[in-house]
Structures are given as C-alpha cells and as structure tokens.
Amino acid sequence: MSKSANSLDAIPQTAKTPLFSLWEALALLVAMVFAFFGSQLLGIYIAGKLLLPSTKSQTAADLFYFASGNGTIVSSSIVFSGVFLSILIALIIRLKGAQVSDYLALKSFSLKVAIGSFGLLLLFMIGSQALTYWLDKSPSLFVDPLYDSVSSVWLLIIAMVVIAPIYEELVFRGVIWSALKEQFAIKFDKTELSKAEGLAQSEAHGALMASLITSLVFALMHLQYGLYEISTIVVLALIFCYARYKSGSLFLPIALHIFNNGLAMWQYLALAA
C-alpha cells in the first residue's frame, strides 16, 4: 500500500462545488435505496424464471415466495445486483462529469490505518459475539434455507462474502457517502475559522454526518434481521465509515466488509458441518 491517504486527503474537495446539488444528493439517496431493493427483486425474478420448474403457471407472488428462499436463485440475484449497481453508479458519476475512481476514492491506503481499522473491527466482533451468545441470539438463521437449497456452496460463499460487500460499499460508503459528505462539508465551511481549520473541520463534519445517515440507512436495509441484529449493523457500518474517512479510500471498508462476512460465513459453515 502507498504511504497514507489520510483523513485530510480529500480536503481540497470541500473547497470545490459539490458534484451533486442538495436536492440531487437527496434524490440520489432515495434512488439508490430503490435501486438496491429493485435490482435484487429483478434478479430473483429473472433467476426464478430461468431456474425454477413450472414457473409459467405461477403468479409473480408465487415465484417470489419460492425463489426468495432458494440459495441458488438468491446468490444469482446478488451477482446480478452487483453488476447492475456498479454500472449504474459509474454511469451516474460519469454523467455528472467526474472520474469514477476519484469520486469513489478507489485508491491505495496506508498499512497503519488498515491495521488500526482491522483491530477496531476485531474488537467489535469479539464484543458482538459475546453479547450474541449472552442474549442467546442466532443472527444467521436466515442462511439455513439458502445453504440447504444452493446448488453449490461456493456460489453462496462468493455471492455473500465477496460480491455483496463490494456493491454494498460502492453504494453506501461510496457514492451516497461522498454525495452527503460534500453537502454537509460545504455548509460547515462558511464559518469564520481560518482557512486550514475551516477545511479540516468541514471535512470532519461532512464525514460524520454522512456516516451517521448512511449507517442508519444501511442497517435498515437488512430487513432479514431482528432489532438486535440491526443495532449491531449500525455499529458495524460506522466502523466501515471510520475506515473510509481515515484511509481516504473505499478499498479499506470493502476489505473490512469482506473479512467480516467471510468470518461469519466460516463460523456458520463450521457449525453446519
């Protein structure tokens, strides 16, 4: 990794006109939420039509009912969503006249920041695991029917451990986080601080507000979980946001997300064996 892309790397961006206006940023948030759910539903529908037997005589409601618990179809839907959302995000940013890699911070990060972020994630995972055990919760129960019905366990692993974290980060810590951060940063930059202080606090304030909003929305998107699990997802999302801010790179939260999902999947498979 290159020497640090630290938390102030993106400060010059706060002095520029935001890529999205306030209303465009809000519209983007709503549109990406709908695209997130819509692409998954469309993926399930297409895969269900192709893979489920006797779909011609089934209604759409019947198809979704049977397909949503099928591991092969859900995994295929995740792959479809990943491709669709990645292309959609790239098109939106390019249509606004920006470079995708620059706006999404697709660049290297420092090893020091990575070690600190992984350490923070491990502390959270240990605490969360202890609390889950103490409360006698089973957050992975929704995986059971998917695991039992998938044609290949590797398809499920690739979809849930690799593909889903990548496109979820592109959506939440990528385009939405960036769009919201620059809105709040610009507003805060109008204070009577020195230029350097104003830029630094503008960056921090924008990142904080974007992190809070995207973390809440991200947690609420995981409707397959209960209230306790959704609460832990908020904290997990804030850790991803912290890594995004401190590293100045989207690659670090992607790596953290893959590590988190991979460890959870390994634990599930170990118990299921």
- Does this model's pTM top 0.85? My answer is yes
Q: What value does the mean pLDDT take over residues 24-28? A: 97
Please check whether residue 72 is in contact with residue 147, taking contact to mean a CB–CB distance below 8 angstroms.
no
Per residue in 223-243, pLDDT (tens digit) is 767 788 899 999 999 999 999
Per residue in 82-118, pLDDT (tens digit) is 999 999 999 999 999 999 999 999 999 999 999 999 9
In whole angstroms, what is the distance from residue 208 CA to residue 232 CA? 18
What type of residue is 12? P
In whole angstroms, what is the distance from residue 182 CA to residue 70 CA? 41
> How would DSSP label each residue in 57-84?
GS-HHHHHHHHTT-HHHHHHHHHHHHHH
Number of neighbours of residue 165 by Cβ within 10 angstroms? 22
Q: What value does the mean pLDDT take over residues 62-78? A: 91
The answer to whether residue 182 scores a pLDDT higher than 60 is yes
In whole angstroms, what is the distance from residue 17 CA to residue 187 CA? 11
196: pLDDT confidence band, cut at 50, 70 and 90?
low
